[in-house]
Amino acid sequence: MPEKSAEAVLTSESLFSGKWLNPANFMTALRVLLAPPIIALLVYRPQSFSWSFAAGTIFVIAALTDKADGYYARKYDSITRLGEFLDPLADKLLMIPLMVTMAFVPDVQHGLLPLWVVIIVVVRELLISGIRMVGVRRGISFPASWSGKIKMFSQVIVVAIILYFPGSSGDTWLRLLVYLMAAITLYSGIDYLFRARREIFNRPAAAEER
């Protein structure tokens, strides 16, 4: 109980100190705020302008903030606990709603993304989020691995291409790219499970007792 109180006080002090008010965290928040306009363009598809180009461009800008916020935080030594928490959360709040929408917004005869692919993505993200929460409670850092970074890169590429060229979503070459992304996502989830088994669940409980 005292540990939780101390953590709450620390979090409160961090919030009111203003240290979290930095460009890196603003860019992270921007990534989340850009998701609704993209979804709106996907759903309503206004004919007064090229909605697919607008949606693709907004998405690319949102994806670039993922690199920009980390670069800024490291270069100017403005890494905060809030930023470390929000950065992976922002990725999920951008990608998951967008990919779910793509599964249910039809393009002629089918969704822009197969539903089973979206299910793999969502289950993987929820599972890894749960593992990270367990790690945090045990005081164990569980940063992204190379497979997680490749997973994110493959998802960004696939979503960007579909947004820019929605009429090509049923083409064989793009479907193969989607299947490759799903395989990378699945592999990344399995890789995280094995890492969690080694680094979190098989670690002696002494760390928790301290």
Domain count, the chain: 1
What is the pLDDT averaged over residues 36-50?
92
What is the pLDDT averaged over residues 122-146?
79
Domain containing 143 — which CATH number? Answer: 1.20.120.1760
Give tens-digit pLDDT for 85-112: 677 788 889 999 999 999 988 765 578 8
Tell me what pLDDT residue 128 has: 85
Tell me what pLDDT residue 27 has: 81
- Confidence tier at 12 by pLDDT (50, 70, 90): very low
What is the pLDDT averaged over residues 162-169?
90
CB 103 within 8 A of CB 118: yes
Structural domain of 144: 2-209
- Confidence tier at 209 by pLDDT (50, 70, 90): very low
Give tens-digit pLDDT for 48-80: 889 999 999 999 999 998 877 666 566 656 566
